[in-house]
Amino acid sequence: MLDKFINNPGEWLKGKGPYSDVVISSRIRLARNLREFLFPVKLPVKSRADVVNKIDKVVKEAKFSKPLFKFNMESMDILDRHFLLERHLASLEFINNPKGRALFLSKDETISIMVNEEDHLRLQVIKSGFDLPLVWSIINNIDECLAEHLDFAFSADIGFLTSCPTNTGTGMRASVMVHLPGLIMTKRINKVLNLITKLSFTARGLFGEGTQALGNFFQISNQVTLGLSEQEIIDSLRNIISQLREQELGARKYLLDKQGPAIEDKIWRSYGILKSARLIDSGETLQHLSLLRLGVDLGIIKGITRAMLDYLFIIIQPAHLQKLQGRVLNVRERDFIRAALLREKLGG
């Protein structure tokens, strides 16, 4: 079934929604554990199957807004697992240790549930643009449906119990993926990120914890879950992202006003490279695509949509290229096929 996903961008890659000139997607994850089982870090591998079977039964019975399809991680090859990582549907730790783990996924990739990652359940809802209230309403409904059938590990004093103490309380991680080329090009990014950290939020790279901010993308998420309500976390993140967008748009205006010809030159050069390169690696591609997206947002580049560019950010990743080709590719082959794909999509 994963092969059907390759040519159908997930809902969160539509390039639409509020603040879509800066915000790529909004995501909320909830960590939940079952009271009758040890946490996954202590649970024997052979017992993980009992958790998967229990969740599988409940998912079939629960009245979700969309059907979920089950994927056994252990039966997947490494390429398919990395494909899920690149789609932001599974974590790196989850795909690297697949024994006794499963993923439940909606067809449009809006809803996913990792079973036996760091916690028994990692619920995720992700949508295009800046719409945390909608994301929260969807995931809260899923959580309530599951709670009707499952006994979650919960303390009346501190909230939901999780493997990592930093998730204890609401168990919520709300995150927004943002594109910040203006702040980087004006060298304001470090000041902004330091301020975000002081407000108990964190900035990670394109693929989450431990990854770099490739293509000028950052994931901004809350660090504190204990002592705050879900609504307080959402409201705080909404305020931060609103201010961050203002800073980014201000930086873009400054660049146009003070360095207009130079910025246009950078953008058109990136467009030219993407349309004509014969070999290109993923790092260079992301940098050029970032500038091209900036060009689209500023009205410099016409005839290209954000949706196409956001999809290209994902499909030029290694696992996606290999899935498209139906075989394992070495680095040089990937660079060659990536360049050909970009020329095809961008009219080179």
pLDDT per residue as tens, the chain (348 positions): 677 777 777 888 888 999 999 999 999 999 999 999 999 999 998 899 999 999 999 999 888 888 999 999 999 999 999 999 999 999 999 999 999 999 999 999 999 999 999 999 999 999 999 999 999 999 999 999 999 999 999 999 999 999 998 899 999 999 999 999 999 999 999 999 999 999 889 988 765 544 455 669 999 999 888 888 999 999 999 999 999 999 999 999 999 999 999 999 999 999 999 999 999 999 999 999 999 999 999 999 999 999 899 989 999 999 999 999 999 999 999 999 999 999 999 986
Q: Which amino acid is at 68?
A: L
Q: What spatial distance separates the first Cα and last Cα of the chain, rounded to whole Å?
A: 31
Spell out the alpha helix ranges (H) of 87-186. 92-96, 132-147, 181-185
Which residues on neighbouring strands pair with residue 34, listed in sequence order? 152
CATH level 2 (architecture), domain 2-248: 2-Layer Sandwich (3.30)
What backbone torsions phi and psi does residue 34 show, to the nearest 5 degrees?
-90, 130
pLDDT given for residue 43 in this prediction: 94
Which pLDDT score is estimated for 226?
A: 83
Tokens encoding 303: 């005839």
d(CA 295, CA 304): 10
Q: Which of 271, 234, 267, 253 is nearest to 188 (CA)?
A: 253
- Mapping DSSP to helix (H, G, I), strand (E, B) and coil, where does residue 317 land? coil
- Note the pLDDT of residue 149: 94
Residues 240 and 22: their CA atoms lie apart, in Å, by 13
Residue 336 phi, psi (nearest 5) = -70, -45
The structural domains of the chain, with segments of one domain joined by +, span 2-248
Chain centroid offset of residue 131 CA: 14
- DSSP string spanning 244-259? HHHHHHHHHHHHHHHH
Q: Checking phi first, is residue 317 left (phi over 0); if not, alpha (psi -120 to 50) or beta?
A: beta
* Model pLDDT, residue 214: 65
- Give exposure, 222-258, as e/b (b: 16+ Cβ within 10 Å): beebeebebeebbebbbebbeebbebbeebbeebeee
Give burial (CB, 10 Å; 0-12/13-18/19+) of 171. Answer: buried
The widest CA-to-CA distance across the chain, in whole angstroms, is: 64
Task: Give, in order, the Cα–Cα distances in Å from 258 to each of 181, 246, 251, 264.
Answer: 16, 18, 10, 12
Phi/psi of residue 16, nearest 5 degrees: -125, 180
H-only helix segments in 63-113: 78-86, 92-96
The residue type found at 158 is I
Using DSSP, state whether 223 is helix, strand or coil: coil
pLDDT value at residue 210: 44
Q: Is 106 helix (H, G, I), strand (E, B) or coil?
A: strand
- Token pair, residue 158, equals 């501190």
Q: Kindly report the CA angle at 66 between 174 and 150, in degrees rounded to 5?
A: 70
pLDDT of res. 209 = 47
Sign of the alpha-carbon dihedral angle for 88, 92, 95, 100: negative
